[in-house]
Structures are given as structure tokens and as C-alpha cells.
Amino acid sequence: MKVTVFGTGYVGLVQAAVLAEVGHDVVCVDVDAGKIERLRQGILPIYEPGLEALVRDNHAAGRLHFSTDAVEGVRHASLQFIAVGTPPDEDGSADLQYVLAVAESVARHMDEAKIVVDKSTVPVGTADRVRERILGVLTERGRRDLGIDVVSNPEFLKEGSAVADCMRPDRIVIGTASADSEEVMRELYAPFNRNHEKIIVMDVRSAELTKYAANCMLATKISFMNEIANLAERLGADIEMVRQGIGSDPRIGYHFIYAGAGYGGSCFPKDVQALIRTAENIDFDAHLLKAVKSRNDEQKTVLFRKIERHFEGDLQGRTFALWGLSFKPNTDDMREAPSRALMEALWAAGARVQAYDPEAMHEAQRLYGNRDELSLCGTKEAALKGADALVIVTEWQAFKAPDFDFIKQQLKQPVIFDGRNLFEPKRVKKRDIVYCSIGR
């Protein structure tokens, strides 16, 4: 089938590549000309395991095309995917300007019926707004005769495993009232729906809300565990034991109950905030979601407060080795990363940071390249040299079994602050290293 995808970010590019891989003919449109030119040369804007080969092979096979030309994109297919960003507006609600700009382009250039599929994460009611915008332009053009349907098809991929998540989705949510659109979407996703039925068809508003509900539920689990971790460390209990103790109940489960330095990334913080805003707009006080957010805002300061306490408030002129800059492993994304809140707090207190991350060094350079208080180091070992302590913020595999004796040798003081509970406390303490982790 022919498909056009607007937006070549984490969602658009991965979805387009995966659709091309199963044989669909996909055109990707982006307003960022540099990105499109690099994609044509096989240079990817993001790091995502497996994506480079998928893009290169499908581009070479002629199933995946890149363009800045909206006209070409609109003409290419009757299925038009919107996968552009929906960043937080000043008041925290989702900014729909990019989504509506795509709607406008489709309406300006269409000359046959279209199904517009909203894959971006958007507030309930957005499909109606997209439809209204398109109908407005069609009216101006005197083309109200052209058929239009707006489908909601939220994306649930996780960064770091985006290709695998799209290749083997655990569900495909389709929001539509149109039997024809449903059939087209079923045909599109049939290659991903062979093992068992994964397609869940519902009304558009429920589909839009499903996306926010999923992210808010996951964020709630994390904030809940962080709250219990705070209690555990004040009560002399160990959150890791508590986690195992509750995870063994299948009604709770082991997933997404790791306490840590707080959740980051481009989705949870913005989507929890956006749903709080949606609630406010209809005069509903979303107490629980507000608590989830404020627990997380506080959790992002926990590592800094532990460091401050250990050094009795004297951080001026000290140097900290920092392992992990990305908001989670297997990505170079630093949006809302707990590492950023920590570095900024350390700098404000007069400290320096020597940081290492397996993938996010370019991103850190882009964000903080002008800061003298930051040295970006080529290896995790180099980051340790002469530092007052080691701080671990991201749970990369490469950090999980370090040479503790080497760490001790390199640091001025044998202290590790671990925001992801990577080690068994007694193993670290056995080496006479002070070990401060979360909730233990």
C-alpha cells in the first residue's frame, strides 16, 4: 500500500521504515531540509538500535523515500500519517501547531479522498480539530466534495527499542467510526497482526485518551515506587527487596516498578502535564496526576540532595564523575533527562562535572558544549580521574559490572552515588567504598 508519513522523528521515521520493510511504499515528508538530505545519504538524525540498516536497505530498495515537498507527499497516497511533535505549550498543554500545519498542507494539496491518521500524541478532541481545519480549507478551495476521515492511531513505541516495538507491537489501537477506514488500517497492519489479534478498534476519543492513560499509568507506577523508596530509606527498609516482594504478585508485576532518579524523556513528563491541563480545561481537578508529577519533580533532586548532604553543603570547586547522560539506556535522547537537572544543580553549587555516556555525547555537546564546568570524556574510566565522587544516573549495561578497585584508585574519595540501584550495597561496601543509592 502507499503511505505518506509527515515527520521523521522517533515515531515517523521508525514507523515509516517498518512499514517499508513489510513491503509498503512510503514517502516521508519533513520540513527540516538538512534532516531529509542526510536521510537520503543514509545519515540518521537519531540513535535507535536496528534503525540505520532498516532505513538504508529500504531506501536502496526504493520503498522508502524522503522529501521536503508536502505536495509530493499528499499526492503519493490516500493514507496520510501525522507523526510530528506535540511539545508542551507555555501552560503545559500539548502544542498542536505542527499537527494542524500538516492538516492544512493535506487540505491545500489533496485532489482525491484521504484518510488522515493521527499518530502524534494529541489531546482528546484533536481529530475533530484536524477535520475542521481540513474542511475549512476545502471549503475555501471549493472542494468540499473530497472525502476526508481522521483516524486516531496512537504510537506506543519506547525509545531504545523503537524498531522492535513497531515490528512486534503488543497492541495496535485504531480510533475510527468509519468501517472503510477500519478496513484500510487493518490491511496496512495485517503483516504485524499475524501471531494473534492485536488490533483494538474503538471510537476516536477513546483512542486519543488511551495513549495518555497508558503513559500516565506507567508514570504513576514509577512515582509510586519513588514515594515508597523515600519511605524505605527513612524507615530502614530496602526498596529493592520491597520491589521484588510486590512484583511477585501477578496483579502488580515486575515491570516499571524501579525506583530511581525520576522519569525523563520526551513523553512521560509532557503527557502527564498535558492530561492535567486537559482536566483543568473541563474543570476537573486531577489530584492523582498532579501528585505523580510533583513526586517526579522532587525525585529529580534526590541525587543532588544526597551529594550535598554527604559533602556537608560544600560543593564549591569539587568535581563529579557522571556516568549516563541520556534519559534512559539505548538512546542518545537527553530530553527531560534527570542528568540535566543534576548537572545544573551541581554547577549552580560551584561544582564541575566530568561526564561519559555511550551514545549521548554529541547531544550533550550540542546542549552544553559552551559550559566550562562540563568536560565530556571519551570513556567511563576517563570521567573518574581526580573526581570527588562518581554519580550514576542512567542504567546503561556498560555500567553494571565496573572494576570497583579501579574506581577507588581514580577518585579522590571512594564515594558512589547511584541513581539506578545498579549494585548490591554489601559488595560495594566490602571494597570500602561509600555507596549511596535510592531507597536503601
Ligand X SMILES: O=c1ccn([C@@H]2O[C@H](COP(=O)(O)OP(=O)(O)O[C@H]3O[C@H](CO)[C@@H](O)[C@H](O)[C@H]3O)[C@@H](O)[C@H]2O)c(=O)[nH]1
User: Which amino acids are annotated catalytic?
Assistant: 267
Q: Which does 84 bind (CB under 5 to 8 A by kind): ligand NAD, ligand X, none?
A: ligand NAD
Say how far apart CA 250 and CA 438 lie, in whole Å. 24
- Tell me how far, at minimum, the Cβ of 262 lies from ligand X, in Å: 7
Residue from 22, 101, 286, 361 in contact with ligand NAD (CB under 6 A): 101
Q: Is 11 in the site for ligand NAD (CB under 6 A)?
A: yes
70 to 89: interface string for ligand NAD, x by CB under 6 A: -------------xxxx---
- Tell me how far, at minimum, the Cβ of 146 lies from ligand X, in Å: 32
- Tell me how far, at minimum, the Cβ of 403 lies from ligand NAD, in Å: 34
Say how far apart CA 220 and CA 289 lie, in whole Å. 8
Binding stretches for ligand X (CB under 6 A): 121, 155-159, 215, 218, 222, 256-258, 260, 263-265, 267-268, 327-328
Q: Which does 138 bind (CB under 5 to 8 A by kind): ligand NAD, ligand X, none?
A: none
- Tell me how far, at minimum, the Cβ of 50 lies from ligand NAD, in Å: 15
Q: Is 359 in the site for ligand NAD (CB under 6 A)?
A: no
Residue from 120, 153, 176, 354 in contact with ligand NAD (CB under 6 A): 120
- Tell me how far, at minimum, the Cβ of 317 lies from ligand X, in Å: 30
Determine the interface stretch with ligand NAD among 28-36, 127-135, 256-264, 353-361 (rule: CB under 6 A): 28-36
Residue from 17, 29, 74, 407 in contact with ligand NAD (CB under 6 A): 29
> Checking phi first, is residue 317 left (phi over 0); if not, alpha (psi -120 to 50) or beta?
left
Kindly list the distances between the CA atom of residue 234 and the CA atoms of 25, 230, 239, in Å, as whole numbers in the listed order: 57, 7, 11
Which of residues 101 and 237 has its CB atom nearest to ligand NAD in the complex?
101
Q: Is 7 in the site for ligand NAD (CB under 6 A)?
A: yes
Q: Which does 218 bind (CB under 5 to 8 A by kind): ligand NAD, ligand X, none?
A: ligand X
Q: Which residues bind ligand NAD (CB under 6 A)?
A: 6-12, 29-32, 35, 83-86, 98, 101-102, 120-121, 155, 157, 159, 266-267
